[in-house]
Homo-oligomer: A and B are copies of this chain.
């Protein structure tokens, strides 16, 4: 169970809603994934433009919590403004803080992320910052009182998976709030890996929406997250350099 502030979720998969080939495919992928949290860029939603098609309209909002993000913000102030827009819609009380500090790598700005998180906490938001895998930065965010930490596995949309599992593990071990690995997941093995390290959830978008068959990939991710979480709980074997027979050497058949 994933618990963020007063919300509880059975699913550990947070699904982004960008770049699906069609609303229909998106809808099916969402359903198949079992997700209970949908994320989207506020700037991209026509929340206030009723004349335009809107994915949110297609959803049964009793089944999903919305996690709008502040993508597009380059400063804390912009992030706060976007967050307030989202809240004003009455659709959500959670906000993913996303303040990008580098247009090339799309990596987050630690200073503005800290500042935006602090401001939004003061405004009473449930705050989930997207952050780099900087271990002490994650601790700082937690000390501010954020409700979950969302470190990136690798650059947004890169599909490179977990480049630095050691840092993610440090973040997970030190955190008393949920850690949701966000960004960079490319395939089911990556989602499983994040969960095996003890993450509380995984946020995905491009890995599903950009797959050849997004609906099938949504199911693959659902299973991978369950597999990884069970693997974490089950306690994996230690790595060794040298082989070790799975069969005892006593009791051998003799000729």
Chain A interface residues toward B at CB < 8 A: 16, 18-19, 40-46, 71-72, 81-82, 85, 101-102, 104-111, 114, 132, 134-137, 139-140, 154-160, 163-164, 166-167, 170, 174, 186-193, 196, 205-207, 209-214, 216-217, 219-224, 226-231, 233-248, 251-253, 255
Contact = CB atoms under 8 A, between A and B. Distances in A.
* Count of chain copies: 4
A188 B231 contact: yes
A227 B237 contact: no
Contact of A242 (B18, B105, B132, B223): B105
Contact of A158 (B71, B227, B244): B244
A186 B114 CA distance: 33
Contact of A81 (B135, B191, B213, B255): B255
B166 A236 contact: no
Contacts of A186: 236-237, 239
Contacts of A205: 246
Contacts of A106: 242-245
A237 B111 CA distance: 31
A108 B46 CA distance: 41
Contacts of A45: 253
Contacts of A242: 104-106, 155, 158
Given A105-B242, A189-B189, A224-B227, A41 B247 contact: yes
